Structure 1
Amino acid sequence: MSGFDADAFAAQIRHPVLRRMFAYWRDKAGARNMPTRADLDPIDFPYALGYVMLVEVERAPLRFRFRLYGSALVKYFADGDYTGKYADQLLPPDYAPFVVAAYTTAVEGGVPRHAQREMVIDRQILNYDVLTLPLAHVRNPDEIAMLLVVMIPAPSMPVL
């Protein structure tokens, strides 16, 4: 992660849960570029559990499978539990390519990403902050095996 300024990145994160998750991720990484999935313990972040997605990175072809899809996100998006499914299966269909592109960028860049997003589903405007954190492969610490994604939604508003 040469050139990645973790302090500058952290300063951009406004939501306290996301700031806390980034600090946790940095702590677990230690001197390495990123932690592994095995370094994480859900007991350490109960404040974020319902908003966490663990996304497995498959290669050849590059594809993203949800190993965990947080219960608060299932409720917020009201389109089902995607645990075990692929990002290209997300609904609505025009949302899936957006998510796949974001995950691809995260894997290719190899550094954490943060964004604030807005989308419209069923005539509701959905706003959310999302933090995407790479997790290393246990046997190859330079290869991203998973993405730890934390998505914090804001209250939805009707489209006028």
Structure 2
Amino acid sequence: MLDLSINSKLYELWEVDAEHPPEKPHALVLYDYWLDKRGQRGFPSWRDIDLLDIWEITPYLIVKDVIGNGEDFRNRFWGTQITHRVGFDASGKTHCEVYEKRQQTPPMRAYSTVFQSGTPHILHRSCSYIAGREFVTFFGLLLPLGSTEDTVEQILMVVDFE
């Protein structure tokens, strides 16, 4: 069993827009792709996304399905570099399964913010919640996806490790 203690030593979250685009390399690739797929809509749908189009960053991707009204999120896709860096594979698991039913974690707040706002955000975070991985820090670009203008159904995330 993973030792996941919550320590928010490093936790920053901010909104991304055209005037303040992401700066990290993986985030730039995904943000440009997301903008192209979005067109004039608020956000693209999962059907618009083809991971083969962005194969070079796929190992750094996480795709989360929204459960219910955002009370939890299930990992539809968990990239191989995410597994390598954090030390476990969370494919198919919900946030509550990974965090042992603790919903009020910094990552959950980030997912909830993107779900509720329908806008892209950047998360700067340490892995202080994973024993033995406290030294791992990253920037994560979180992008909303949904088939209608008013409902986020997935969150597409790419990680740039420091």
Task: Answer whether TM exceeds 0.5 for this pair.
Answer: yes
Runs of 4+ in 1 over 3 A off after TM superposition: 91-96
**Identity, % of aligned positions:** 23
SS in 1 for 2:111: helix
SS in 1 for 2:52: helix
The yes-or-no answer on 1:9 pairing with 2:17 is no
The yes-or-no answer on 1:110 pairing with 2:118 is yes
Change (3 A) 1:123 1:129: closer
2:93 is matched with 85
Q: How many residue pairs end up in the alignment?
A: 146
1:157 is matched with none
The yes-or-no answer on 1:27 pairing with 2:36 is yes
Kindly indicate whether the alpha-carbon contact (under 8 Å) linking 1:114 and 1:132 is maintained by their aligned counterparts in 2: yes
Change (3 A) 1:112 1:123: closer
Q: Which amino acid aligns with 1:39?
A: D
Instruction: Find the aligned partners of 1:56 and 1:62 in 2 and give their Cα distance.
Output: 11
Change (3 A) 1:76 1:94: farther
Q: Higher strand fraction: Structure 1 or Structure 2? A: 1
Q: Which amino acid aligns with 1:126?
A: V
Change (3 A) 1:129 1:61: closer
2:145 is matched with 135
The yes-or-no answer on 1:71 pairing with 2:80 is yes
Change (3 A) 1:94 1:145: closer
The yes-or-no answer on 1:126 pairing with 2:136 is yes
The yes-or-no answer on 1:145 pairing with 2:156 is no
Give TM-score scaled by structure 2 length.
0.81
Is the radius of gyration larger for structure 1 or structure 2?
A: 1
SS in 2 for 1:150: strand
Instruction: Find the aligned partners of 2:32 and 2:69 in 1 and give their Cα distance.
Output: 32
Instruction: Find the aligned partners of 2:160 and 2:103 in 1 and give their Cα distance.
Output: 17
CA deviation map 1:89-119 (0-9, x unaligned): 2258879722212111111111000122223
Change (3 A) 1:127 1:60: closer
